[in-house]
Amino acid sequence: MPDPPAIDADPWTQTEAWTETAFQNRFVTVEATNVVYEDPEFLHAVEALVPADIDQTPRAMFTTGLSFDPPLPGDKTPERLLPVAAKYASREFERSLAEDGLQNVRQADSQELRLRSRRTASAFQYDASYPLDGDAVGAPDATPTLAVRVWAAIWPTADSFEMAGGIYPLENLATALERVGGTTDVTIEARPGGDRRTVLNRIRDAAR
């Protein structure tokens, strides 16, 4: 099982890792090894607002390494299959975001992302609503949500594919809580331009 690509830039710290079957039929089995990275300071500040069924905060990164059994034939096969793999990955990633607890998930954009060494990844942008713990913000009868954006990218390796991406807020926490009359001492400030650059740069770093 290949290791997933790593993110070693500050302040990101690995918080989760697991392996799962991403796809299986009578011809091939695809295993995914996933790693989640968080900013420890941000995690500590907001963890009380994160519902029990949500595993990551609204500002996090991930990487994934994929392996095929039997292996893909030929060293150029992953590169040739990238359009097919990207189409499947974008659909399955949107579904997995909903399964992970995000609401109103929709793919908002897709593009080619230039990596290091003149390589290219297929990147996808999703907009969604991140649920917050109503009890933690003094709104137990409400369902507060924070607008977030998620990026995911997939690129070929010598014999398979790898992925990386991240999630970040699109609005301030105070704005989200105003909609339900909630309050908290926690501050989440949206900085979508800076977060977008951070996420795409970390994707490029992971794909080196």
pLDDT tens sequence across 95-104:
999 999 999 9
pLDDT of residue 76: 67
DSSP summary character for residue 5? P
pLDDT of residue 147: 98
Q: Which two tokens stand for residue 177?
A: 């809580």
Per-residue pLDDT, averaged over 154-163, amounts to 94
- Give CA–CA dist 109/127, Å, rounded: 9
Q: Which two tokens stand for residue 110?
A: 């897709």
Composition of the chain by helix, strand, coil, percent to 5: 30, 35, 35
> Which ranges constitute the DSSP H helices of 47-133?
77-99
